[in-house]
Structure 1
Amino acid sequence: MAVEPKLTLYAVWHMASVVLAISVPALIVGSLPRHARPARYLVLFVSALWCAFGLVFLGLAAIQPESAWLFKLPQWILLLPVGLLGLWGGSNTARQGTRAKEGVPEQ
């Protein structure tokens, strides 16, 4: 492989690693009760990113002609659950914030 494409692949790999590493503290802070409501949009955004990353791996694996495509690129197994759980948690936090504004007690 030529040097330029190889360096580009390394750069993209490390960019993705940085995004994933930075998003972990954002999700942790968003999970704390004290910060859940203020950070809900950040959690939803980061979770959408993780879901999109997982779908990229699924899509790339699906277009491969070989069988067992689900496990050809197994990174989606870790990315999608985190993203989906984050979306679920962020949307629940948003609903709780709406209930609090309407005067409905939280459960």
Structure 2
Amino acid sequence: MNGWFLAAGLTSAGVAAIHARAGGRDVVRPLLAGNLSDEPRRVLHAVWHMVTADLILAAAALIGLALSPQPGGNMVAWLLAAHFVAYTAVFLAISLAADWSKPWLRLPQWLLLLPVGALTAVGAL
């Protein structure tokens, strides 16, 4: 068993739960109640749920890799690590581009995503 992948998978599952619960309340509800026209609002709503599915599927893949290593599993692990590091970079770039005080804390999602990428990368070494 690969403990690093297991930790990454469980962390990703936790991130998915936080995303669905807190994000639904703090992001999706205001988005749906906002003044956007119907089409962009529905697209953003769909993208929100796609990210939820993505986080859950990544958690399942990481837990699966942890419990039963597969041929080519390191390739999958490296892709998952890159995936979470890319999510981290997107949140940091958008946060830091905004004219906010303490921008890295206004969108703190990167603090949840980076550990998954790092744990996965360490497990793939």
Same fold (TM over 0.5): yes
Indicate which of 77, 83, 89 corresponds to 1:55: 89
2:42 matched to 1:22?
no
The 3 A distance-change label for structure 1 pair 87 and 36 is farther
Indicate which of 52, 64, 82 corresponds to 2:98: 64
2:78 matched to 1:44?
yes
1:35 aligns to what?
69
Per-residue CA deviation, residues 1-41 of structure 1 (Å, 9 max, x unaligned), is 11011011111111111111101011112223x41654211
Per-residue CA deviation, residues 23-72 of structure 1 (Å, 9 max, x unaligned), is 1011112223x416542111111121111111111111000111110111
Instruction: Tell me the TM-score normalized by structure 2.
Output: 0.67
Number of paired residues? 90
The 3 A distance-change label for structure 1 pair 14 and 48 is same
Indicate which of 41, 45, 52 corresponds to 1:6: 41
More RCO (CA 8 Å, sep 6+): 2
Structure with bigger gyration radius: 1
Looking at structure 2, the residues matched to 62 and 36 of structure 1 have their Cα atoms a distance apart, in angstroms, of: 39
Q: Percent identity?
A: 34
2:19 aligns to what?
none
Amino acid at match of 1:25: A
Q: Which runs of 4+ in 1 moved over 2 A?
A: none
Secondary structure at the aligned position of 1:55 is classed as: helix
Gaps of 5+ in 2: 1-35
